[in-house]
Amino acid sequence: MPVVDVDPDELRDLTGRTEKTDDELKDDLFGLGIEYEGETEDGKLRLEFEADRLDRLSITGIARSLRYQYGDLSGIYVPDTNDPEWTIEVAESVPDERPYVTGAIVRGLDLDETDLEAIIQLQEKLHATMGRKRAKGAIGVHDLTMLKGAPADGGAGKSIRYQGVEPAGDRFVPLDSDAEMTPAQVLTDHSTGREYADLVSDYERYPAIYDDIGLFSFPPVINGRRTEVSTQSRDLFIEMTGTDQWTIDKMLAIMVYALDARGGQVESVTVDYPDRSVVRPDLSLSQKTLAHETVEDTLGLSLSPEELHDLIDRSGLEIAAERTEDGTRAYEVSIPPYRVDVLHPVDLIDDVGRAYGFNNLVPRYPDVSTVGGRTEASRHEEAVRDLLVGLGFEDLLNFNLTSDGELFDRMGLDREADAFGAGEPPRLIESYSEDFTHLRTWALPSLMQVLENNTHRAYPQHLSEIGFVAQVDSSTVTNVAEGRSVAAVLAGPEATYEDAKGRLQVLADHFGVDLTTPATDHPSFIDGRVAEIRLDGDSVGVIGELHPAVLVEHDLEVPVAGFEFELGALR
């Protein structure tokens, strides 16, 4: 999930709550679903939040959410926008792979180093999340005074051009360089160019943005040095290119709101495509219908219309219309343009719940004649979990979503292999992050990631998880075979196959199943130190010492032994 570094003093200034202590700020942030993850060396708070609330990638966005929570703001604020003076003209030569562009101007800024760092952090966090590491959307921020606009078509205003350029075509000086380079040279000779070369290297023509002087931006790779932003910059030109118009328009809205909060005046830009013309930024509001009864049923509250109005206002939303049909009251709720997460009315109910305060909800028994309890499967899983903890493992709960690379490439496993964990993972058609694109087919990669993130901790580290796994299976009604898996790793200087086997044997004995471990091959494990797990004669998993290549891939310097098998096999 995204993590941003925030200066607590600046956050107090932006919220107007200078009396708040750091601990009080952390509590208030937690109420918004923003978790404290530690501090940087210079005392900034490291804050982690859900990947869908991308408007909180900036400190101004976090401050805005807090001010709504405090009741200092209500309803929807839309920045005033001046009429366009500049035009982005889109040429026919623009690469088909990256056809979309958007932009805005923000004037009258007074930036210091802190402001500049915050803008850069927001830009890079948007690249990493919504922009899919610049593949879906990339942002360029330029000093407007360093641009020379050509006369726009029709003679009114100034224009720049988004067009294609030959790899060995026009030259420019990229950021962090003193030498003129062609786009092709940037991809081979510049560190940033090499990092993002894969995004455009297969294009016949590269994307480029020109003013009347020449090439000044090579999206999605790097900007030109001529338009570099500094603390002396007062007027900024923001351009974004990408593969999807909606994505870059929403990224632009988030940037515009952040700069508006720093005192800038937003100015529209006209985008002239060959077949149409649009004005950006798009700060129009969207709407969702929300039934009063649904809010009450979901949250377990009884709210008057006035109370619900207030909670919606304090969520940064606004009721545009209200109606009653067949005795049911419903609202048309307006949603600000920086909210990319509202896909369903339940997202609005979540906002209402946070405005009310989830900690203020009073638990109560449901109005039914029976009392719920754990299923047999749940009790069995809890028994296995308790035994693992008794064997010295620390119980974990990892995400069910991961990436193709984590499941296979980093584990040295081919998805087509005849091995435990291989298979076709269910894929999300539209994911918010490249880190969470697939349901996991096995749980050991998740435990390896935890070990990778805890190399600074003392050893030994014994971790276990009982979690959800899935594979594409056309023989099922849903085309997905779902299951629960038991996985465990032992990491430390003395970790061996025998250590893992001993704990596995205790599990088998406790649940009265016969365990055998015939030798097998598995690319994630060391040859000769890996075995198949058979419980009551059925092949249900794998056990062994992780392969050195897998350890190196996860930056681990100690041996790791582990096992994974189907939970149902212990019954």
- Please report the pLDDT score of residue 426 as a whole number: 96
Q: Return the CATH class of domain 376-569.
A: alpha beta
Share of the chain above pLDDT 70, in %: 99
Percent of the chain with pLDDT over 90: 87
Distances (CA, A) of 546 to 308, 413, 449, 456, 525: 55, 12, 13, 20, 4
CA distance 25 to 268: 36
**Per-residue pLDDT tens for 203-220?**
999 999 999 999 999 999
Mind listing the pLDDT tens digit for each residue in 370-395? 777 889 999 999 999 999 999 999 99
Segment (H or E) for 184: helix 183-189
The mean pLDDT of 442-453, rounded to a whole number, is 97
Which residues fall within 8 angstroms of residue 342, CB to CB, at 6 or more apart? 286, 288, 335, 348
User: Taking 60 as the threshold, does the pLDDT of residue 155 lie above it?
Assistant: no
Count of C-beta atoms within a 10 Å radius of residue 519? 11
Q: pLDDT tens across 349-365, in order?
A: 999 999 999 889 888 77
Pick out the residues of the known binding site. Answer: 341, 347, 350-351
The band of 571, judged by pLDDT with boundaries at 50, 70 and 90, is confident
3-state secondary structure of 342: coil
pLDDT at 557: 95
Residue-range domain boundaries for the chain: 3-70, 82-280, 286-360, 376-569
Whether 82-280 shares its CATH topology with 286-360 is answered no
CATH 3.30.56.10 fits 3-70, yes or no: yes
Q: What is the pLDDT of residue 127?
A: 94
For the cut 90, the answer to whether the pLDDT of residue 237 exceeds it is yes
Mean pLDDT of 215-231: 96
pLDDT tens-digit series, residues 252-286? 999 999 999 999 999 999 999 999 999 999 999 99
What integer pLDDT is reported at residue 154 of this predicted model?
Answer: 62
What confidence score (pLDDT) does residue 51 get? Answer: 74
- Six-digit token pair at 236? 């900024």
Residue 4 CB burial class (10 angstroms; 0-12, 13-18, ≥19): buried
Give CA–CA dist 81/103, Å, rounded. 13
The yes-or-no verdict on residue 369 having pLDDT over 80 is no
Predicted confidence (pLDDT) at residue 1 exceeds the cutoff of 80? no
Q: Residue 328 has what pLDDT?
A: 86
DSSP string, 492-554: STT--HHHHHHHHHHHHHHTT--EE--B---TTEEEEEEEEEEETTEEEEEEEEEPHHHHHHT
Per residue in 463-491, pLDDT (tens digit) is 999 999 999 999 999 999 999 999 999 99
Pairwise CA distance, residues 73 & 524, whole Å: 54
CATH of 82-280, one of 3.50.40.10, 3.40.50.720, 3.40.50.300, 3.30.70.80: 3.50.40.10
Q: What is the pLDDT of residue 251?
A: 96
Query: 286-360 has which CATH code?
Result: 3.30.56.10
Annotated binding site for Mg(2+): 341, 347, 350-351
Q: How far apart are the first and last CA of the chain?
A: 36
pLDDT at 156 over 70: no
109 band by pLDDT with thresholds 50, 70 and 90: very high
Per residue in 508-563, pLDDT tens?
999 999 999 999 999 999 999 999 999 999 999 999 999 999 999 999 999 999 99
Helix, strand, or coil (residue 28): helix
Mean pLDDT of the residues in the chain: 93
